[in-house]
Homo-oligomer: A and B are copies of this chain.
């Protein structure tokens, strides 16, 4: 998606250790016009799929999923990190390791909101090692729903998550894939 790649080049910041920060438009401050274009692009790429629900994980994925859901006309369900005392009843649970926060989260989703009748599109902002996405895939599997695919805004192609997900035969669409970050310079996959 050229608009997104251009924006990453303009406003993305490469920090020490070749870490890409896109917090000025994607995951701290959110440019809603850009995210609308992202939502339209996901709709275009999964237009043939009979999606009934969009599943994401808190926190950064929620806004992108909600904007995208407007084009699919389906509800969003978001998996929550750690147990909340207000989340009662039956839950699907899985574990997700966060490299950002250096810890393992319990991730939960109420069984009321996902079942065998559902056709699910996963949406998230980033795909790197794939832990969050693998957690969501595990939840979909446990629910008996059909996984239609996964839409990612930015994939770090030099980490293993994308390859792992594609090797599972899952329809993965990443709107920008970064193949390398070296000396502050990004290279996108064609």
Contacts and interface: CB of A to CB of B under 8 A. Distances in A.
A66 B63 contact: yes
Nearest to A109: B28
A49 interface: no
A8 interface: no
Contacts of A66: 30, 32, 35, 62-64, 66-67
B63 A28 contact: no
Interface residues of A, number: 45
A43 interface: no
Nearest to A79: B28
A70 interface: yes
A48 interface: no
B76 A30 contact: yes
Nearest to A68: B32
Given A70-B36, A80-B28, A102 B85 contact: yes
12 contacts: A23-B113, A28-B110, A29-B76, A29-B112, A30-B69, A30-B75, A31-B75, A32-B73, A59-B59, A60-B62, A62-B62, A82-B101
Residue picked from A32, A59, A66, A74, most chain B C-beta under 10 Å: A32
